[in-house]
Structure 1
Amino acid sequence: MLTNLKDQPADKILALMAAYREDPRDNKIDLGVGVYKDATGKTPVMRAVKAAEKKIWEEQDSKSYTGLAGDPAYGDAMVDLVLGSAVARGNVAAVATPGGTGAIRQGLELIKMAAPGATVWLSAPTWPNHPSIVKYLGMPMAEYRYLNDDTPTVNFDGMMEDLQGAKAGDVVLLHGCCHNPTGANLTLAQWAEVIALLQERELTPFVDIAYQGFGDGLEDDAAAVRMVASEVPECIIAASCSKNFGIYRERTGILMAISQDDALQGRAQANLAFLNRQNYSFPPDHGARIVATILNDADLKADWMAELEEIRQGMLGLREALAAELKRLSNSDRFEFLAQHRGMFSRLGATPEQVEKLRADHGIYMVGDSRLNIAGLNAQTIPVLAKAIIDCGI
C-alpha cells in the first residue's frame, strides 16, 4: 500500500529553516520563520504564562478529559477577548482546537458539511496553509486581489471588484488584523464596505485572527472582527493564541460559529463538537488552561497585557527604524510602507532572484515572495538588512 503514496512537495518555510540551520556563516539573519523573537533572537515565555503554569501545577488535581469543546472557561474567555460585547454569548458556538491551524481546518470542515458547493475565496496573497487545506479537502476555491503590484498597499478596488463575482452562499476568508504575509490591513471604513458587499451578495465571512494584540492593540485589532460578527447574519471565526500568548508549541486555538438566529447556536455547537470527535476527540488542554487562567485572573491578565504591549511597541519600533534607514540609504520614501504595515510580516516586493541574492551574498533568509519577519530583526541587524536590500537593487 505504501508504495502507492506520492512524494509531497517540501514545505517552503520548513525548507528555508533547514537551509538557515545548515548555513555556517556567523552573520546570517533569519527573517523567514513566522515566530516572534526578542532582541536576543529567542522566543521568550511570557511572565504571565510562567505564573499561570505554576498556578496550574499547584492546583490541578486531574488530567482527565475535558469536554469535546474543551474547557468552558477557555471558550468563554476567548469569546470575550475576540468579540467583547459585539455578540451575545448565546449566539456563539465555540470549540477549542489544536492551534489556529486546527481552527481553520475545522472551520473548513464545517463549511463543507453545511454547504459542499460553496467556493472559498482567499486573498491573493494569503497564508500558504489556507489554500493548501482548501485544496486538500477538495473544496472549490477562488482568489480576490489584495495587494497592489507596484506598491505594497491594499488593492481595495481590485478586491471589491473580484468579490462581486462571488455567488450567494460562497465563503470569503478574511484576515482580522496583521495580514499574513503582507502586513497591509484594511481600514475600518473599508471593512464597512466589505461588510455591505457580504450582505448584498449573501456571502459568509470566515475571519482568521491570529495576531490580535500585535498590530494596533488588543481592542483595535479586534474592531473589524466585531464589526463583521455583529452585522452579518452568520460568520465563522478562527483565532490563535500562539503569538499573543507566546505558546506556539502548546497548539492553542479556538473556532467560533456565530448566527444572529438564537435557535441555531445549539445545532452549530453540536456539529462543532462532532467534528472535534471525528478528528481528535478532545482538544489539547494545557495551553487552553494557561490562557483561561490568565484571562480570568485580574493581576495575570494585566501583566500579560503589559508585556504584549511591550512586544507590539517593540515591533513598531523595528518597523520605523528599518523604514528610516532605508530612506537614508535610498534617498526615497519607497519603503515607507514598512512603517505603516502592522504585525510580524511585510513583503518587500522583491523578485525571487533578489531574495536569493540576499541569501547567497548576505546570509539573509526570507520567504521567496519576499515576506520578512520584522520580529526577526534587532538594532544591530537593521542596518545590515537595509544595506543588503539596497545592494541587491530592491
Structure 2
Amino acid sequence: MMLNTLTPQPEDKILALMALYRDDPRDTKIDLGVGVYKDATGHTPIMRAIKAAEKQLWEAETTKSYTALSGDPAFGAAMKTMVLADSVDHARVGAIATPGGTGAIRQAFELMKLANRHGTVWTSNPTWPNHLSILKFMGLANKEYAYFDAATCTVDFDAMMASLKDVKAGDMVLLHGCCHNPTGANLTLDQYGLVADLILEKGAIALVDIAYQGFGDGLEEDAAATRLLATKLPEMLIAASCSKNFGIYRERTGCLMAMSETADNTPVTQGTLNFLNRQNYSFPPDHGARLVTMILGDATLKADWMAELEEVRLGMLGLRTQLADELRQQTNSDRFDFVAQHRGMFSRIGASPEEVLKIREEFGIYMVGDSRLNIAGLNAQTVPLLAHAVAKICR
C-alpha cells in the first residue's frame, strides 16, 4: 500500500492564518496576513486594462489550441522589455511562460539542478518562505546570507556582504529585485552594484525574484536593480510575476528569463528552458500571458494600466506614511519611522511572535508570526486601530 505510507506535511503558516481569520467572528477583525493586494474596501479588483483586454480577446480569439512549450514568444518579448528595457541585448535572453512567479522560481531551481546539482542556493535571511520550502523539497543545498537587522528594521549590508564571501563558484544567489518580501527593506542601487561585483568575482549566478515591479518606487525605478545586474553580469536568471502589478493572481502568469553570456549560447539555453517546461507541465497557461502581452503592446491599454498601477503604488505609500505618523504619535517615539521608508506590500515591524499573538487575540488583527504585515490590507480607518494595538502591545 502506497498511500498508507504518507505522513502529514507541514502546514503553510500563511494559509493557516487565513483559516483562523475566516473563523474569527469579530466584525472588527483585520487581515494583514495574506499577500494579496486589496483596495480600501478590502477587495482585490480587476484592473481596467485587464477588463478591456479580456473583452477584446473574447471577441477576437479563434482557438484554444496550444501555443508553444515556451508560451507565446510575444509574451517573452514583452516581459524582456518591461523588466530589462535596453540594459542587455535581448538576443542573449531566453524566456518561458510559467504558472505564476512561483512557477518561474521552481523552473530556475530546476535549471540549477541540471547545471550544477551540487551547488548551493543562497537566500536572504529572511526570505519568502516558499523559496525555502521548494529548495528543501527539491533537495538543493541552501544557505542563508545575513540581510535584515531586526533591531533597526533595515538592511544590514555589511553583514550581508560578509556572509556572501563564502559563496562558491557555481552557486546561485537569490536576490529580491524590489519590494523585499517579507521585510519591505531594500538595497540601494549602489549596494546592488557591489553585490553584483561580488557575484562576478565568485563565479556564481544571480537569480532575481522580481514579483512587485511597480509597487515600490515606480515601474521603471523598481526594475533599475535588475537592469544594473544585467549590465554587470555575464549570466543571470530572472523570475518575474504578473500577479501583483497586473492583478491577475488566479491566472498564474509568470516568466523565467535566462540571460546567457553571448547570443550564441541562447539557443541551448532556450531549448533547455523549453525542455523543463515539457517535463513539469508541458505547455504553460496562456490566458493571463496573452492579456499582459496585449496591454504592453497597445499604447492606450498600457497607459491606462500604468496609471492605475501608479494609483495603487501611491495608495500604499500613503498608508505607509499614515501608519508611521500614527505610530510616532501613539508611541511618542520614532522607532517605527522605518515603515514609511520600506517599499511594496510588506513590512516587518519588529514584534515578537508572542506580541503578534497578543495583537491577534486582543484586537483581531492578523499578521504573520514574524510580524510581517500587508500594508495593502489597511485603509485610512484601520491604520489608527493597528497603531493603537502595536503601541499597546509592543512596549
Which residue pairs with 1:72 in the alignment? Answer: 73
Secondary structure of 2:229's partner? helix
Which residue pairs with 1:117 in the alignment? Answer: 118
Q: Which runs of 5+ in 2 are unaligned?
A: none
2:35 alignment partner AA: G
2:292 alignment partner AA: V
Which residue pairs with 2:216 in the alignment? Answer: 215
Q: Does 1:233 align with 2:234?
A: yes
Secondary structure of 1:218's partner? coil
- Counterparts of 1:385 and 1:112, CA distance in 2: 44
Secondary structure of 2:144's partner? strand
- Counterparts of 1:199 and 1:72, CA distance in 2: 30
Q: Percent identity, aligned pairs only?
A: 66
- Counterparts of 2:378 and 2:213, CA distance in 1: 21
Q: Does 1:271 align with 2:272?
A: yes
Query: Which aligned pairs between 1:372-387 and structure 2 lie closer than 5 A?
Result: 372-387=373-388
Shift of 1:89: 1.2
- Counterparts of 2:389 and 2:124, CA distance in 1: 30
Offset from partner CA, 1:116-162 (integer Å, 9 cap, x none)? 11100000000000011111110111000000121100010010000
Shift of 1:346: 0.2
Offset from partner CA, 1:97-127 (integer Å, 9 cap, x none)? 0000000000000010011111000000000
Moved more, 123-132 or 254-263: 254-263
- Counterparts of 2:262 and 2:300, CA distance in 1: 36
Runs of at least 4 residues off by over 4 Å:
none
1:143 alignment partner AA: E
Shift of 1:73: 1.1
Shift of 1:393: 2.3
Paired positions, count: 394
Offset from partner CA, 1:272-300 (integer Å, 9 cap, x none)? 00000011110000000110010000000
Which residue pairs with 1:150 in the alignment? Answer: 151
- Counterparts of 1:107 and 1:269, CA distance in 2: 13
- Counterparts of 2:231 and 2:266, CA distance in 1: 15
1:368 alignment partner AA: G
Which residue pairs with 2:4 in the alignment? Answer: 3
Which residue pairs with 1:107 in the alignment? Answer: 108
Offset from partner CA, 1:301-328 (integer Å, 9 cap, x none)? 0000000000000000000000000001
- Counterparts of 2:170 and 2:279, CA distance in 1: 25
Which residue pairs with 1:94 in the alignment? Answer: 95
- Counterparts of 1:246 and 1:133, CA distance in 2: 24
- Counterparts of 1:226 and 1:251, CA distance in 2: 24
Secondary structure of 2:149's partner? coil
1:53 alignment partner AA: E
Q: Does 1:318 align with 2:319?
A: yes
Query: Which aligned pairs between 1:242-391 and structure 2 lie closer than 5 A?
Result: 242-391=243-392
Shift of 1:43: 0.2
Shift of 1:168: 1.1
- Counterparts of 1:219 and 1:159, CA distance in 2: 26
2:307 alignment partner AA: A
Offset from partner CA, 1:25-81 (integer Å, 9 cap, x none)? 000000000000000000000000000000000000000001000011111101100
Q: Does 1:36 align with 2:37?
A: yes
- Counterparts of 1:166 and 1:189, CA distance in 2: 20
Secondary structure of 2:51's partner? helix
- Counterparts of 1:125 and 1:393, CA distance in 2: 21
- RMSD of aligned residue pairs (Cα, Å): 0.6
Secondary structure of 2:8's partner? coil
Secondary structure of 2:187's partner? coil
Moved more, 344-353 or 226-235: 226-235
- Counterparts of 1:66 and 1:237, CA distance in 2: 22
1:182 alignment partner AA: T
1:96 alignment partner AA: A
- Counterparts of 2:107 and 2:170, CA distance in 1: 18
- Counterparts of 2:198 and 2:14, CA distance in 1: 34
- Counterparts of 1:65 and 1:253, CA distance in 2: 17
Secondary structure of 2:175's partner? strand
- Counterparts of 1:284 and 1:168, CA distance in 2: 35
TM-score, normalisation: structure 1: 0.99
Secondary structure of 2:236's partner? strand
TM-score, normalisation: structure 2: 0.99
2:367 alignment partner AA: M
- Counterparts of 1:126 and 1:201, CA distance in 2: 22
Secondary structure of 2:390's partner? helix
2:314 alignment partner AA: Q
Secondary structure of 2:220's partner? helix
Shift of 1:331: 1.2
1:105 alignment partner AA: R
Secondary structure of 1:96's partner? strand
- Counterparts of 1:393 and 1:102, CA distance in 2: 38
